[in-house]
């Protein structure tokens, strides 16, 4: 069996540890989630009787995070022979090691029903021995206690129970810091990593992080250096991740928003309105692709719906028009066309985001107002970094924003 393993040396102690709690804080791009996924695939293939449950606060977000990381690890390691060694089920999400029957399942902790479902987990072979809590700062301490209670009973010699928490350390007052970092415990291994330690990170990503360091020092401390902090001044709080319908007929109207980019992301969002709320159905979020390439990627975007674009790029708009799309630029003139006016309008509605829109979700989680260096007060101007999907969202609602009634 030929296995291709890409390893960052900074995770060696983590991957070899048998302590009960592995608590990994780190910056975006540090490689902690990739390493975790790869380590679990190797562990479950090696040790018979081990089973893993992957936890996110919202169950539906597992598909595009833990499940995607684990299946990605399988295909990187085994290439076109991946399904010789692992059975990959999409519904329900489940991975099974064909050599020994060890399983990986996926659960949420969003409500009492999901928590009860976690309490009743059993496996045909072996026990629940491993838990991966991705984006662990989403969880409450009570959530972790429920998870911890599931890891009990005698194990064969050489086996051990283990919970691994991976996250970006947003809030210095978070319970994870108090429970695991502030109090020494022999059962706990804490770990810190940054994108600078990831030998597989590309130069373009490093350049984007350097730009963030310049324009958003507060955010860079968290997402660049993986330090404890607190993101103040978040712009939108009125959104949630939800399995929104992909049937365009379920909405009162459909529109598309696009922010052009090359070195920074080119973001395109498919949007729907229903009962005066906004639904983000899908995203295209790519770097270093020209317009012709992006048009090819947009085969599922309806051509008969209005596409609102950045008016500063008329040549690109014409290319989309020639391809059959109803593309037009957004009028940015006057106070009614200001970014602040667009944001004020969005704040008055509920925004639902499909879990597949992972880049849009990331931007929503960290889109914030600028802070005045002298006064410490937040200004009515967003930080101009990693806001491409947010620009596409602002543009996409333009047709609905400028009329009293959406349907005409």
Nearest to 354 by CA among 275, 290, 270: 270
Task: For residue 25, give the nearest of 40, 39, 38, 10 by alpha carbon.
Answer: 10
What confidence category does residue 246 fall into, taking pLDDT thresholds of 50, 70 and 90?
Answer: very high
Q: What is the pLDDT of residue 229?
A: 77
Give the pTM. 0.74
For residue 90, give every residue at least 6 positions away whose Cβ sits within 8 Å of its Cβ, in sequence order, or none: none
**275-319 pLDDT tens trace:** 999 999 999 999 999 999 999 999 999 999 999 999 999 999 999
Q: What is the pLDDT of residues 255-270, one digit of tens each?
A: 999 999 998 999 999 9
User: Over 90: is that where the pLDDT of 335 sits?
Assistant: no
Q: How far is it, in rounded angstroms, from Cα 59 to Cα 109?
A: 7
Contacts of 335 (CB under 8 A, 6+ apart): 341
The domains spanning 9-200 and 239-401 adopt the same CATH topology = no
Residue, of 245 and 171, whose pLDDT is higher: 245
List pLDDT tens digits, range 29-51.
Answer: 999 999 999 999 999 999 999 99
Q: What are phi and psi of 31, to 5 degrees?
A: 95, 5
User: How does residue 180 score in pLDDT terms, banded at 50, 70 and 90?
Assistant: very high
Q: Which residue has the higher pLDDT, 371 or 47?
A: 47
Domain ranges of the chain: 9-200, 239-401
Tell me how far apart the alpha carbons of residues 95 and 64 are, in angstroms, rounded to a whole number. Answer: 15
Q: Which CATH architecture has domain 239-401?
A: 2-Layer Sandwich (3.30)
Please report the pLDDT score of residue 69 as a whole number: 96
- Bridge partners, 267 (sequence order): 259, 285
For the chain, percent of residues with pLDDT exceeding 70 = 97
Q: How confident is the model at residue 336 (pLDDT cuts 50, 70, 90)?
A: very low
pLDDT greater than 60 at residue 407: no
Residue 334 confidence class, pLDDT cut points 50, 70, 90:
low
Task: Please check the confidence at residue 333 and state whether its pLDDT lies above 90.
Answer: no
- Residue 163 β-bridge partners: 21, 131
Confidence grade of residue 161 (pLDDT, cut at 50, 70, 90): very high
* CATH code for the structural domain at 9-200: 3.40.50.300
- Cα 314 from Cα 90, distance rounded (Å): 42
The values of phi and psi at residue 308, to 5°, are -100, 125
Q: Quick one: average pLDDT of 237-249?
A: 93
Output the average pLDDT for the chain: 91
Angle between helices 358-366 and 388-396 (to 10 degrees): 100
Distance CA 71, CA 67 (A): 6
Q: Give the pLDDT score at 337.
A: 53
Residue found by looking up tokens 């090691």 in the block: 97
């Amino acid at each position: 069996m030929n296995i291709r393993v890409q390893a960052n040396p900074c995770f060696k102690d983590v991957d070899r540890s048998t302590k009960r709690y592995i608590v990994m804080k780190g910056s975006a791009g540090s490689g902690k989630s990739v390493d975790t996924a790869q380590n679990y695939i190797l562990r479950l293939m090696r040790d018979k009787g081990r089973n893993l449950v992957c936890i996110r606060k919202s169950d539906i977000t597992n598909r595009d995070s833990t499940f995607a990381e684990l299946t990605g690890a399988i295909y990187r390691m085994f290439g076109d022979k991946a399904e010789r060694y692992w059975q990959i089920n999409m519904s329900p999400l489940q991975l099974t090691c064909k050599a020994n029957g060890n399983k990986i399942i996926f659960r949420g902790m969003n409500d009492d029903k999901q928590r009860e479902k976690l309490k009743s987990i059993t496996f045909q072979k072996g026990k629940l021995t491993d838990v991966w809590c991705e984006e662990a700062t989403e969880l409450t301490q009570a959530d972790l206690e429920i998870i911890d209670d599931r890891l009990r009973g005698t194990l064969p010699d050489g086996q051990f129970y283990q919970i691994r928490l991976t996250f970006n350390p947003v809030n210095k007052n978070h319970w994870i810091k108090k429970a695991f970092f502030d109090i020494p415990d022999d059962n706990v291994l804490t770990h810190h990593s940054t994108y600078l330690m990831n030998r597989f990170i590309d130069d373009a990503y490093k350049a984007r992080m350097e730009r963030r360091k310049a324009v958003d020092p507060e955010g860079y401390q968290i997402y660049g250096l993986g330090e404890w902090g607190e993101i103040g001044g978040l712009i939108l709080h009125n959104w949630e991740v939800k399995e929104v319908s992909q049937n365009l007929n379920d909405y009162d109207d459909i529109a598309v928003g696009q922010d052009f980019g090359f070195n920074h992301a080119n973001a395109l969002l498919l949007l729907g309105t229903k009962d005066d709320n906004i639904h983000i159905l899908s995203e295209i979020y790519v770097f270093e692709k020209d317009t012709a390439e992006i048009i090819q990627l947009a085969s599922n975007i309806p051509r008969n719906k209005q596409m609102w674009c950045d008016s500063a790029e008329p040549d690109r708009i014409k290319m989309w028009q020639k391809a059959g799309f109803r593309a037009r630029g957004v009028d940015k003139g006057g106070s009614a066309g200001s970014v602040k006016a667009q944001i004020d309008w969005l704040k008055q509605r509920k925004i639902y985001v499909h879990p597949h829109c992972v880049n849009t979700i990331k931007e929503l989680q960290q889109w914030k107002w600028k802070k005045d260096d002298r006064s410490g007060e937040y200004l009515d101007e967003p930080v101009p970094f990693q806001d491409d999907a947010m620009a596409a969202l602002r543009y996409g609602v333009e047709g609905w924003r400028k009329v009293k009634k959406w349907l005409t």
